[in-house]
Amino acid sequence: MEATPLAIPDVLLITPRVHGDERGFFMESFNRRDFEAVAGVSATFVQDNHSRSARGVLRGLHYQVEQPQGKLVRVVAGEILDVAVDIRRGSATRGQWVSARLSAANHRQLWVPEGFAHGFVVLSTTADVLYKTTHYYAPRFERSIRWDDPTLAIDWQREAWCWGSQPILSDKDRLASDFHASEIP
């Protein structure tokens, strides 16, 4: 595997080694020893999540104020634009974001550390997104920042998924707070 730091260097783009042959392919989607040695991340994952969404569905931006979740995100069907926003108090890159296209075809993964808000939009007809988390889901601690916060000004690459329409959001995400009004850990 390779681990490439993005513009916020604690966020890593992980490229696993894919062994292709006439049967298809094989890859280690997670190897704790390599993740520590190559990515330099010592994380204990406690929960695996799987969501399926249609094109134009946007989930996020989510974080937990207590029990923050580091997330290792990958896609097993379709393609997403995955986004991580630095919300760490005192961080030099607080309020900045990075993104990466993750797909079943490119096998890439995004490591989103604790202290980041996370979200994604679906670029393909549907996408199945799998992610491991370092803390359990705790709805009482969960918070949302609005996806289109003008301060964050995230480029959601709308040309790839929307024909002038708005993203498909949950009620919770439709009511999400501005970044500046958010309760940052």
Ligand X SMILES: Cc1cn([C@H]2C[C@H](O)[C@@H](COP(=O)(O)OP(=O)(O)O[C@H]3O[C@@H](C)C(=O)[C@@H](O)[C@H]3O)O2)c(=O)[nH]c1=O
* Distance separating alpha carbons of residues 31 and 56, to the nearest angstrom: 32
- Contact residues: ligand X, CB under 6 A: 49, 51, 59-60, 62, 69, 71, 118-120, 137, 170, 172
Residue with tokens 């329409």: 165
Helices of type H across the chain: 32-34, 171-174
Q: How far is the CB of 21 from ligand X (least distance, A)?
A: 34
Q: Which residue is nearest to ligand X (CB)?
A: 137
Q: How far is the CB of 65 from ligand X (least distance, A)?
A: 13
Of the listed 63, 107, 118, 131, which one is catalytic? 131
Q: In degrees, to the nearest 5, what angle opens at C-alpha 149 toward C-alphas 152 and 181?
A: 95
The DSSP bridge partners found for residue 19 are 26
Does the active-site annotation cover 62? yes
| Nearest CB to ligand X, comparing residues 38 and 67 | 67
C-beta of residue 123 within 8 angstroms of C-beta of residue 79: yes
Q: 58 vs 69, 95, 102, 170, CA distance in Å?
A: 19, 19, 14, 8
Residue 119, burial from CB neighbour count under 10 angstroms (0-12, 13-18, 19+): buried
Of the listed 50, 62, 107, 137, which one is catalytic? 62
Does the active-site annotation cover 131? yes
Q: How far is the CB of 118 from ligand X (least distance, A)?
A: 4
| Nearest CB to ligand X, comparing residues 60 and 167 | 60
Q: How far is the CB of 60 from ligand X (least distance, A)?
A: 4
Residue 142: how many other CB atoms lie within 10 Å: 15
| Nearest CB to ligand X, comparing residues 38 and 65 | 65
User: Which amino acids are annotated catalytic?
Assistant: 62, 131
